[in-house]
Structure 1
Amino acid sequence: MRGLEEGRFVPGQRLVETELASRFGVGRNAVREAIQWLSAQGVIDVTRHRSPAIRLLEGEEALEVLDVAERVIGLAARAAAASMTREDRPRLRAALDAMQAALTDDTPGAFSRARRHFYGAILEIGGNRELQRMFPALGIHILHAQYRVESSRAAQVGDLRNVVQAAAAGDAAQAEAAGRAYVTALGAAVRKMVGGSQ
């Protein structure tokens, strides 16, 4: 994931086992196991008689991911609000603060890592194991890597701040609405890019 976030790997890129083994200083069996795990997570597509490739979300599939992500992130925000404890509030705020700090961090992948950490925090706080299981396979991380919407990062932090405020207040309905609004706004930027590439 880190390589995807930092731009060292890109959606659609073919992965050659020997090159990966050399790059990471591991054996080919370890590479195969990692590829199988990433395939199960929905990050890599494995096709018979072809090198595995990082999942590429073509126009319609990207829109489908957004459609599902809107509901899943909304549910995750609702679950977090319903399960929020006093100890969880600073943790979720810290995850959001890390995203805010990453806005001015030039380190490759800093914002993407902070956003992934935020998603992880909200999923863990919500405690819904099914959402935790399915979220990585959803493809939202691939979508972020493929359609890098740099201009909307500050807006993303603002939208997620609404999620944090509602969740911290224990307002499950408002947290869900804020989570869905976050994805809707992100989707508007992606839809412009998808529309321009079709």
Structure 2
Amino acid sequence: MFFGIMGGLELGSFVPGQRLVEADLATQFGVGRNSVREALQRLAAEGIVELPRHRGAVIRRLSLQDTLDVLDVAERMTGLLARAAARGSGDRAHAQALRAAVQALAGAGKAEKAEKAERAERTRPGEAFSGARRHFYRTLLEMGGNRELRRLFPTIHMPVVHAQHRLASLQQMRLADYRRIAAAVLAGDPDEAEAAGAAHVQNVRAAILAGQPG
């Protein structure tokens, strides 16, 4: 259920500020109430959900400053992730896995672009791209071999950031950034990889700020 809610944030089926009703979640995910409570406690511990007294669980809504704080951390962590991954570029299996991850991202992006052309009202990123994006980051983590980074990186609240700031420009921008990160990692250039990783989050920040009202 934990991963179901996290995935739902990416897909738009859960949104910041939404109240989470235990009975509804138990039915939706086919689990018992105890499992729901455990998942909500874990989400609360990671800052994804708030548990106000006598009001039930609510998905955290980020202020603009909260968003910028998350991006400050993500910028440094993504740069570190890419730098660490560049050390594993000499491993053929890792290199092949990263190339495949980028191809999956590109394929998912094309498929969803075609679907949007048929359904103009569709604005949220689709499941294929979200899954490919998660696989891309898992591949980088595996290449880096840094256990502490593997533990900390998933705790960054980027799913909440992307759920709250659904900008049409973000998916294509992210795909271009991921290609640059992968190219630097595969070239075995840790400085360029770190710069590309940090630049990706800088681009996300710029797009969010540009989308703010006057």
Q: State the TM-score, normalizing by the size of structure 1.
A: 0.91
- Correspondent of 2:105 among 83, 96, 99: 99
Pairwise CA distance, 1:158: 1.3
Q: Which residue of 2 aligns with 1:129?
A: 147
- Correspondent of 1:66 among 65, 71, 82: 71
Q: Structure 1 residues 124 and 149, CA, compared in 2 at 3 Å: closer, same or farther?
A: farther
Q: Which residue of 1 aligns with 2:167?
A: 149
The residue type equivalent to 1:22 in the other structure is T
- Correspondent of 1:9 among 9, 14, 24: 14
Q: State the TM-score, normalizing by the size of structure 2.
A: 0.85
Aligned equivalents of 2:12 and 2:99: distance in 1? 27
1:1-198 to structure 2, matched below 5 A, reads: 1-84=6-89, 85-106=91-112, 108-193=126-211, 195-196=212-213
Secondary structure of the equivalent of 2:166? coil
Q: Structure 1 residues 103 and 152, CA, compared in 2 at 3 Å: closer, same or farther?
A: same
Aligned equivalents of 1:139 and 1:172: distance in 2? 25
Q: Contact 2:105/2:129 (CA < 8 Å) preserved in 1? A: yes
Pairwise CA distance, 1:149: 2.3
Q: Which residue of 1 aligns with 2:118?
A: none
Pairwise CA distance, 1:46: 2.4
Secondary structure of the equivalent of 2:20? coil
Aligned equivalents of 1:112 and 1:101: distance in 2? 12
Aligned equivalents of 1:51 and 1:104: distance in 2? 40
Aligned equivalents of 1:171 and 1:63: distance in 2? 28
Q: Contact 1:42/1:138 (CA < 8 Å) preserved in 2? A: no
Q: Contact 1:46/1:53 (CA < 8 Å) preserved in 2? A: yes
Secondary structure of the equivalent of 2:40? helix
The residue type equivalent to 2:213 in the other structure is G
Secondary structure of the equivalent of 1:53? strand
Pairwise CA distance, 1:79: 0.3
Aligned equivalents of 1:92 and 1:143: distance in 2? 25
Aligned equivalents of 1:11 and 1:185: distance in 2? 22
List per-residue Cα deviations over 1:47-89 (Å, max 9, x = no partner). 3333111222211100111111111000000000013322111
Pairwise CA distance, 1:153: 1.8
Pairwise CA distance, 1:110: 2.3
Identity %: 50
Aligned equivalents of 1:196 and 1:164: distance in 2? 34
Aligned equivalents of 1:123 and 1:39: distance in 2? 24
Q: Contact 2:61/2:164 (CA < 8 Å) preserved in 1? A: yes
Task: Give ranges in structure 2 of 5+ residues lacking alignment.
Answer: 1-5, 116-125
Aligned equivalents of 1:87 and 1:32: distance in 2? 40
Secondary structure of the equivalent of 1:179? helix
Q: Structure 1 residues 70 and 183, CA, compared in 2 at 3 Å: closer, same or farther?
A: same
